[in-house]
Each structure stands twice: as C-alpha cells, then as structure tokens.
Amino acid sequence: MIEKYQTIINRGKSRFNDTKKFIRLLKKVKSSELDALCGKFHTLFAGEINCLDCANCCRGTGPLLKNRDISRLSKSMKMKTGQFVENYLVTDEEGDMIFKELPCPFIDKKNYCIVYEDRPAACRDYPHTDRRNMRKYLKPTLENYRICPIVYLVIEELKKTFR
Ligand code: SF4
Ligand code: SF4
C-alpha cells in the first residue's frame, strides 16, 4: 500500500472514537439528504483513489458470501460448491459465510482480484457509501472508516457539513 493511503487509514484509527460520536449525529439527518451527500462525496473520492494502490479491504477485511456468490465462484474455479466451501470458507459467529483467512485468497501480489468478474456482491458494492438508506448502514460505515480511505474521506467531508 502506498504511504498516502496508509496515513489516511492510520488517521481513521486514531479518530475512530470521535467519529463514533459524529456518526450518532448522522442518524438525525434526513435520509434523502444523507444519501445525496454520501453519493456525491463517494463519487468524488472514489474517482480520486486508485484501489490498486490500497487493497486494504481485500487484505484487512473480507466480504460475507451469499449462496449465489458461492455458486458463481465455484463455477469460476471449476469446483463443486462443497469443495469450494471446504477449501475457502468458514461460518462466522453470526452464521454468515466468510473467507477462512485474510488476506483474501483471491488477491494477487499486484492487488488484482483474480476472480474479479465473479467476485462476491459485497466486494462489488464495497465501500457501500453510495447506497440508498445510508442511515441504516451507519454502523458498518463506521467500521469501514478505519479500513477504507474512501469512507474516511466521505465521513470527514460530512463532518464539515454537519458539525
Ligand atoms: S475500496 Fe477502499 S479499502 Fe478497498 S482498495 Fe479501494 S480505497 Fe482501499
Ligand atoms: S474476492 Fe476479489 S474483490 Fe473480493 S475480497 Fe477477494 S480479492 Fe478482494
């Protein structure tokens, strides 16, 4: 990871507790207003950041895999679903399927996803800052604040608007 992104991630970790308080404030913002602002800031910062220079989501956290993700990935790997699950997945404490290990087994040395076309839906949608009804997604967004530079920048921009 390049230094610039590591610095942002470190800031996200050190400002986490303060941001936790700010995130509570966002629950009071009108849903449509919050969605519009998040979408706008997401487009801005996602356009500026090169994920291939970061890959912290693939290396530091993993997606939840739904049945359709597992089925698509198994086909892509030319494996039976059961074999794919046995090789790569485990059930977490909440009953969701996740990768056994991090970094993700499908990231290569240059930070390319080797199953990109068939990657899980959660990977496609990450970092989820341009979704509808962001108010319902504030808890995971707070977690992603210390993982993903895009999320960090979106939240810091929201602070300028609402603080
Ligand atoms: S989505 Fe966020 S964490 Fe993942 S590679 Fe891009 S900037 Fe990094
Ligand atoms: S499947 Fe691809 S996009 Fe998803 S975590 Fe693994 S390397 Fe990253």
Position 56 in a domain: no
Domains identified in the chain, total number: 2
Query: CA-based diameter of the chain, in Å?
Result: 52
Pocket test for ligand 1, best of 1, 53, 54 (most atoms within 8 A of CB): 54
What is the dihedral angle through the alpha carbons of 55, 144, 148, 162, rounded to the nearest 10 degrees? 170
Q: Give ligand 2 pocket residues (Cβ under 6 A).
A: 58, 62-63, 104, 106-107, 113, 115, 119-120, 123
Position 113 in a domain: yes
pLDDT digits (tens, 9 = 90+) for 120-145: 999 999 999 999 999 999 999 999 99
pLDDT digits (tens, 9 = 90+) for 6-31: 999 999 999 999 999 999 999 999 99
Same domain, 68 and 121: yes
Residue 1 has pLDDT above 90, yes or no: no
Position 134 in a domain: yes
Closest ligand to the CA of 103:
2
Q: Which residue do the tokens 């970061």 mark?
A: 54
Domain of 84 in residue numbering reads as 64-125
Position 87 in a domain: yes
Task: Quote the pTM value.
Answer: 0.95
Position 141 in a domain: yes
Position 26 in a domain: yes
Same domain, 113 and 91: yes
Q: Give ligand 1 pocket residues (Cβ under 6 A).
A: 49, 51, 54-57, 126-127, 147-150
Same domain, 133 and 119: no
